[in-house]
C-alpha cells in the first residue's frame, strides 16, 4: 500500500504568512476574538496591500482557492469588496444565497450546520456569512449560528456582518482614522453618535466600532437618545477594554457633551431593542415602520456643520451606506474632513489581509 499523501508537500503554508503570525486557520467573528498584536498585524498588512495593491508578494496566495460567501441579507459593498479581495489574491469568491440551498431551519428540513460545514470545508478555503435581524427570530441567533459553523468547519469562518458584530468594518474604520491622524490614536476622542434615519440599522457596526476603539486606547463616547441602548454585554466589554488600554469609555444622552472635543464623529442610525419583538408579533414591515416613527421624534440627532464646529476639527466617518440628510447633512458628508470613501475602500484592503492571514497557502 502506498504511504498516505502529505498535503503540506503539495501546498505548504506560505512562509511569509507563518512568519507574520499564527492566524492561519483562525475564525473572525468579532475583533475581541483576536489579540491586540493580531489585530495590529492585520492592520499592518492592510496598509501594505493598499500601498502595493497589484504587486504585493502575497497577491497570488489564494491561487485556485475558493471563498464561499453566504448572504442571508443583501449588501451594498460587502459582496463587491470580498469578490474583489479574492480576485486580487488570485482566488475566487463564490456568491451563495441560503434560500437556494437545502439547509435546515426552524421552518424547513434540510442539511444541518454540522454536515454543511464539514462538506464545505472540503471545497473551500474559508466561509463568510452575512446574517442580520430580518433573517433571524431573536437577537444573538446570528452569532450563535456563526459559532456553530466555526465549531464544525475545518476552515476559517469570517463574519461579513451579523446581528452582534462586524469585524471587517471595525478594522476598516480604524485604518481610515489612522490614514488621517497617524497610527497612534490613543487619547483621541471618537464620538459614536446615534442619527435619525429611515434605514432601521443593525447594531453590529456600531458595537464593533466601540469595541475595537476602546480596546486600542481611544476615548470613546457613545451618544444616543433614551431607549436606544445597545447590548449590555458589549457595553461591559467596552468598559473593561478602556480600563485595560488606558482609554475612556462613556455613554451620554447629551449632544453638547458628546461633540465637545471630539477628534472623530461617527454618526449612525440603529434600531431599538424592541425591534425583534415587534418583528415577530407584527412582521418586518410593521417593525420597520415603528422604528422610523420613533426615530422621527429626534430631529436634533443629525450631524450638522453646527455640531461639528463644537469638535476638535473632527473628521467625519461612516460605515455606509449613508442615509444623507437624516444621519448627516450633505455638507458634512461631502466636506474635506469626511473620510467616508476612504473607509469604504479600506474594506477591500482589510478583507484581503484577513483572507491572506487566515486562509493563504501556496
- pLDDT values of the chain reduced to their tens digit, one per residue, 362 residues: 334 333 333 333 344 554 545 899 999 999 999 999 999 999 999 999 999 999 999 999 999 999 999 999 989 899 999 999 999 999 999 999 988 887 767 666 778 999 999 999 999 999 999 999 999 999 999 999 999 999 999 999 999 999 999 999 999 999 999 999 999 999 999 999 999 988 889 999 999 999 999 999 999 999 999 999 999 999 999 999 999 999 999 999 999 999 999 999 999 999 999 999 999 999 999 999 999 999 999 999 999 999 999 999 999 999 999 999 999 999 999 999 999 999 999 999 999 999 999 999 64
Contact 140, 163 (CB under 8 A): yes
158 within some domain: yes
Q: Strand order in 92-96's β-sheet? A: 92-96, 66-71, 126-131, 157-162
Contact 159, 166 (CB under 8 A): yes
Taking the chain, what is the end-to-end CA distance rounded to the nearest angstrom? 28
Q: Which of 161, 178, 162, 65 is nearest to 121 (CA)?
A: 65
CATH number of the domain residue 63 falls in: 3.40.50.1370
73 and 156, same domain (yes or no): yes
204 and 303, same domain (yes or no): yes
261 within some domain: yes
For residue 100, the model assigns a pLDDT of: 81
Quickly tell me which residue has 435581524 as its cell.
Answer: 133
Quickly tell me which residue has 461639528 as its cell.
Answer: 308
Q: Rounded CA gap, 131 and 172, in Å?
A: 19
149 and 242, same domain (yes or no): no
E strand or H helix at 131:
strand 126-131
How many of the other CB atoms lie within 10 Å of CB of 299? 9
Q: Considering its fold, how many domains does the chain have in total?
A: 2
182 and 321, same domain (yes or no): yes
2 within some domain: no
Q: Rounded CA gap, 218 and 247, in Å?
A: 5
311 and 178, same domain (yes or no): yes
Q: Rounded CA gap, 24 and 14, in Å?
A: 10
For residue 107, the model assigns a pLDDT of: 66
354 and 251, same domain (yes or no): no
List of residues 6+ apart from 192 with CB closer than 8 A: 206, 209, 210, 220, 221, 222, 223, 266, 268
178 and 311, same domain (yes or no): yes
What backbone torsions phi and psi does residue 132 show, to the nearest 5 degrees? -115, -175
146 and 241, same domain (yes or no): no
202 and 260, same domain (yes or no): yes
226 and 351, same domain (yes or no): no
Task: Indicate the DSSP class of residue 282.
Answer: H
355 and 288, same domain (yes or no): no
Q: Which of 306, 307, 309, 323 is nearest to 270 (CA)?
A: 323
For residue 23, the model assigns a pLDDT of: 95
Range of the domain at 91: 7-165+347-359
Q: Rounded CA gap, 355 and 61, in Å?
A: 9
| pTM of the complete model | 0.93
Quickly tell me which residue has 444541518 as its cell.
Answer: 112
1 within some domain: no
Beta strands in 168-241 (DSSP E): 189-194, 219-223
145 and 237, same domain (yes or no): no
Q: What is the DSSP string of 231-278?
A: -HHHHHHHHHHHHHHT-EEEEES-HHHHHTT-SEEEEE----TTHHHH
For residue 21, the model assigns a pLDDT of: 53
List of residues 6+ apart from 259 with CB closer than 8 A: 191, 193, 265, 307, 308, 310, 311
Quickly tell me which residue has 427570530 as its cell.
Answer: 137
For residue 106, the model assigns a pLDDT of: 62
Amino acid at each position: 500500500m502506498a504511504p498516505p499523501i502529505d498535503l503540506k508537500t503539495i501546498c505548504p503554508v506560505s512562509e511569509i504568512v507563518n512568519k507574520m503570525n499564527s492566524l492561519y486557520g483562525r475564525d473572525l467573528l468579532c475583533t475581541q476574538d483576536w489579540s491586540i498584536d493580531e489585530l495590529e498585524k492585520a492592520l499592518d498588512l492592510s496598509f501594505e496591500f493598499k500601498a502595493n495593491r497589484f504587486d504585493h508578494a502575497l497577491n497570488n496566495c489564494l491561487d485556485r482557492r475558493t471563498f464561499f460567501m453566504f448572504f442571508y441579507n443583501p449588501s451594498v459593498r460587502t459582496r463587491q469588496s470580498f469578490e474583489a479581495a479574492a480576485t486580487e489574491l488570485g482566488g475566487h469568491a463564490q456568491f451563495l444565497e441560503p434560500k437556494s440551498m437545502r439547509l435546515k431551519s426552524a421552518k424547513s428540513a434540510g442539511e444541518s450546520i454540522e454536515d454543511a460545514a464539514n462538506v464545505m470545508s472540503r471545497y473551500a478555503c474559508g466561509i463568510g456569512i452575512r446574517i442580520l435581524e430580518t433573517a433571524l427570530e431573536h437577537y444573538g441567533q446570528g452569532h450563535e449560528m456563526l459559532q456553530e459553523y466555526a465549531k464544525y468547519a475545518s476552515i476559517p469562518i469570517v463574519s461579513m456582518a451579523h446581528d452582534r458584530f462586524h469585524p471587517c468594518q471595525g478594522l476598516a474604520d480604524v485604518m481610515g482614522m489612522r490614514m488621517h491622524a497617524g497610527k497612534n490614536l490613543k487619547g483621541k476622542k471618537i464620538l459614536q453618535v446615534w442619527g435619525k434615519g429611515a434605514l432601521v440599522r443593525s447594531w453590529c457596526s456600531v458595537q464593533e466600532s466601540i469595541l475595537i476603539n476602546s480596546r486600542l486606547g481611544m476615548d470613546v463616547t457613545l451618544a444616543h437618545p433614551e431607549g436606544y441602548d445597545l447590548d449590555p454585554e458589549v457595553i461591559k466589554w467596552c468598559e473593561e477594554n478602556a480600563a485595560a488600554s488606558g482609554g475612556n469609555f462613556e455613554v451620554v444622552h447629551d449632544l453638547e457633551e458628546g461633540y465637545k472635543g471630539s477628534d472623530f464623529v461617527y454618526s449612525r442610525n440603529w434600531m431599538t431593542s424592541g425591534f425583534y419583538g415587534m418583528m415577530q408579533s407584527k412582521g418586518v414591515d410593521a417593525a420597520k415602520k415603528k422604528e422610523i416613527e420613533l426615530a422621527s421624534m429626534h430631529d436634533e440627532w443629525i450631524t450638522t456643520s453646527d455640531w461639528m464646529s463644537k469638535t476638535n476639527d473632527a473628521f467625519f466617518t461612516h460605515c455606509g451606506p449613508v442615509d444623507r440628510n437624516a444621519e448627516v447633512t450633505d455638507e458634512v458628508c461631502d466636506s474635506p474632513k469626511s473620510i467616508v470613501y476612504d473607509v469604504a475602500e479600506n474594506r477591500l484592503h482589510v478583507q484581503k489581509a484577513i483572507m491572506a492571514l487566515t486562509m493563504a497557502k501556496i
